[in-house]
C-alpha cells in the first residue's frame, strides 16, 4: 500500500476503530481497495487558455472478505484552479 497502511493504522488508533491492520491479506477480515487519478494540462493548454486546471479523483472501498459485501465506500473529485497570465498577479 506504499506506506498508506501506516497512516491507516494510526488513524484507526486515534479514532478508536476496533480494527487492526495486518500484513497478510489472507488473514484479514476486511480488505481495502482504492484508486486515484490525476490529470494536468499540457503546455499548449496553459499558454492558450492562460490558466492551469488539474483534475484529481480518488475512491476507496472496504470489503468484507468473507461475504464480499462493501461495508464502506468513499469517492472524491477535486478540481484545482491556478490562474496564470498577464491579468493575474
For residue 83, the model assigns a pLDDT of 53
CA dihedral 72, 57, 34, 3 (to 10 degrees): -120
Can you read off the three cell numbers belonging to residue 45?
493548454
- DSSP structural state of residue 42: -
- DSSP structural state of residue 50: S
In a domain, 72, yes or no: yes
Can you read off the three cell numbers belonging to residue 66?
468473507
Please give the Cα distance from 67 to 30 (Å, whole number): 10
Can you read off the three cell numbers belonging to residue 2?
506504499
In a domain, 52, yes or no: yes
In a domain, 17, yes or no: yes
Please give the Cα distance from 4 to 58 (Å, whole number): 14
pLDDT tens digits, 12-35: 999 999 999 998 999 999 999 988
In a domain, 88, yes or no: no
For residue 89, the model assigns a pLDDT of 46
In a domain, 89, yes or no: no
For residue 80, the model assigns a pLDDT of 72
The answer to whether the predicted template modeling score (pTM) of the entire model surpasses 0.85 is no
Q: What is the mean pLDDT of each run of 10 residues along the chain (89 residues)?
A: 84 93 93 84 61 78 97 89 53
Total domain count, the chain: 1
In a domain, 47, yes or no: yes
In a domain, 27, yes or no: yes
Domain range spanning residue 27?
4-83
Amino acid at each position: 500500500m506504499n506506506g498508506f497502511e501506516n497512516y491507516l493504522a494510526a488513524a484507526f488508533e486515534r479514532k478508536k476503530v476496533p480494527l487492526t491492520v495486518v500484513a497478510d491479506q489472507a488473514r484479514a477480515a476486511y480488505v481495502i481497495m482504492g484508486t486515484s487519478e490525476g490529470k494536468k494540462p499540457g503546455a499548449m493548454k496553459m499558454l492558450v487558455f492562460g490558466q492551469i486546471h488539474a483534475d484529481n479523483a480518488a475512491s476507496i472501498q472496504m470489503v468484507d472478505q468473507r461475504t464480499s459485501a462493501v461495508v464502506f465506500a468513499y469517492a472524491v473529485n477535486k478540481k484545482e484552479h491556478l490562474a496564470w497570465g498577464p491579468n493575474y498577479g
